[in-house]
Amino acid sequence: MRTMPLLPLLLDTPVAEWNLPPDQPWREKQIRAWILQRFVSSYDEMTDLSAPQRSSLASRFRLRAAEPARIQGSEDTTRKFLWKLGDSSFVESVLIPANLGKSGNRSTRLTLCVSSQVGCAYGCRFCASGLDGWRRNLTAAEIVGQVLEAARIAGRRPDNVVFMGMGEPLANLPNLLSAIDLLISPAGIGMGARHVTISTSGLAPQIEELAHHPLQFRLALSLHAASDEIRDKIMPVNRRYPLDQLLAACDTFIQARKKMIFFEYILLAGINDTPEQARLLAQHAKRLHAKVNLIPYNKVEGLPYERPEEDAIHLFCRTLLHAGVRATVRREKGNDIDAACGQLRLREEKTAPPAIRIES
Ligand code: SAH
Ligand code: SF4
């Protein structure tokens, strides 16, 4: 069955095809505001449109690019969403609250971690997202749709969006950039550029391409090993773009944009947590003035990796700090809800009835 085209965001359906009355040019702005600022889930909520206008739109265009298939809450109030897309594929987002200031002060920052693809082709050995391979890119509307749905459920717009869910964002560059434009532009969701972070496993040519792109965003590099020998073993992408080439691309990015980048470094017991790796990592970080986020590994069922003991995690972090590198250990919230990317979707797809599975 052909799915109805999507109305939202002017991305999938040009406004000329909305059939709006030509003498009411303000209608477009009204509709955009309902979708992008007020996060409505049905045309009926657009109360300043006439009933015939609403039903005309509803009969021709889907309003939502993603719909919640499952929502899991954890004890630390992290929430994980499994979204069902128009073709019945599934992707995930995780909403992570962080309290600012003293308790009693209601200022909580919401960070939403979104997906950029269904599955992932890059097959990092420790990651659940790549286990089933790559199925397709998300459209810009599906990327932004995750933010709109999460905002509606949370009752407000997230403060930060990070592309750390399923998929490799730089392998879906045109849709990623359209989505970011809509997230940060005042005529879109209006988040502000410093509040969007792209995470990449290290696609060097795309990092260089982005160095000169006018859109503002932050960049995080999933380094996870500080030598080619170890990175080759856990991240196949390293054989295509080895560390020299990758770090040179990051250098170009930093020089052109005058912005710092982050290194993400998952700690895997016995693999990349040695003092030697810490020393090498410190060298790379100092050369690029990068800040390091250490992430104790989140166990994935069926994969042979473990997180190191607490002592080993602290020793690794101290080695970086002593070398003069800014480093923090990021405590992953939501351990109890499979918050590492790809895990919930994998579980859903394994138990999903065949009727709603898409075969690639
Ligand atoms: N493909 C991109 C973005 C998605 S992965 C990338 O690789 O950067 C987002 C982050 O989650 C990456 O740093 C990834 O390595 C990390 N990650 C994947 N599986 C994980 C797990 N089981 N525990 C902790 N972090 C994980
Ligand atoms: Fe893909 Fe990132 Fe997972 Fe690697 S870590 S398989 S690039 S989603």
What pLDDT is stored for residue 108 in this prediction? 87
pLDDT by residue (tens digit) across 149-203? Answer: 999 999 999 999 999 999 999 999 999 999 999 999 888 899 987 899 999 999 9
The pLDDT, as a whole number, for residue 290 is 98
- Give the per-residue pLDDT at 111: 94
Cα 313 to middle of ligand 1, angstroms: 18
Largest CA distance in the chain: 70
Q: Residue whose CA is closest, atom 9 of ligand 1?
A: 164
Contact (CB, 8 A) for 194 and 188: no
Mean pLDDT over 246-266 rounds to: 97
Q: Which of 341, 344, 346 to mutate to test ligand 1, by most ligand atoms within 8 A of the CB atom?
A: 341
* Any atom of ligand 2 within 6 Å of the Cβ of 130: yes
Q: How many CB atoms lie within 10 A of CB 1?
A: 3
Radius of gyration of the chain (CA): 21
DSSP E strand stretches across 204-326: 218-222, 262-267, 291-296
Q: How far is the CA of 231 from the centre of ligand 2 (A)?
A: 13
- Give me ligand 2 centre to Cα 102, in Å: 36
Q: Which residues are catalytic?
A: 92, 341
Decide which of 348 and 175 is more confident.
175
d(CA 98, CA 134): 32
Of all residues in the chain, the percent with pLDDT exceeding 90 is 70
Q: Whole-number mean pLDDT of the chain?
A: 87
Determine if ligand 2 sits within 6 Å of the CB of residue 168: yes
Tokens, residue 51: 């009933």
The CA 130 to ligand 2 mean position distance, Å, reads 6
Mean pLDDT of 322-342: 70
User: By alpha-carbon position, which residue is closest to atom 19 of ligand 1?
Assistant: 127
Helix (H, G, I), strand (E, B) or coil at 137: strand
Q: Can you tell me the mean pLDDT for 57-67?
A: 88
SS3 call for 170: helix
Report whether residue 119 contacts ligand 2, using a CB cutoff of 6 Å.
Answer: no
Judged against a pLDDT cut of 50, whether residue 355 lies above it is answered with no
pLDDT band at residue 312 under the 50/70/90 scheme: very high
Ligand 1 atom, smallest distance to 299 CA: 22
pLDDT at residue 22, rounded to an integer: 83
Q: Is residue 297 lining ligand 1, measured as CB closer than 6 Å?
A: yes
Residue 155 vs residue 354, higher pLDDT: 155
Listed by start position, the domains of the chain span 10-60, 66-359
Spatial CB neighbours of 321, under 8 Å, sequence gap ≥ 6: 327
d(CA 56, CA 178): 27
Residue 345's pLDDT band, with cuts at 50, 70 and 90, is low
Q: Which pTM value belongs to this model?
A: 0.91
Q: What is the mean pLDDT of residues 333-337?
A: 49
Topology adopted by domain 66-359:
TIM Barrel (3.20.20)
Decide: 113 in ligand 1 pocket, CB within 6 A: no
Instruction: Point out the least confidently predicted range of 50-54, 115-119, 310-314.
Output: 50-54
* C-alpha 61 to ligand 2 mean position (Å): 33
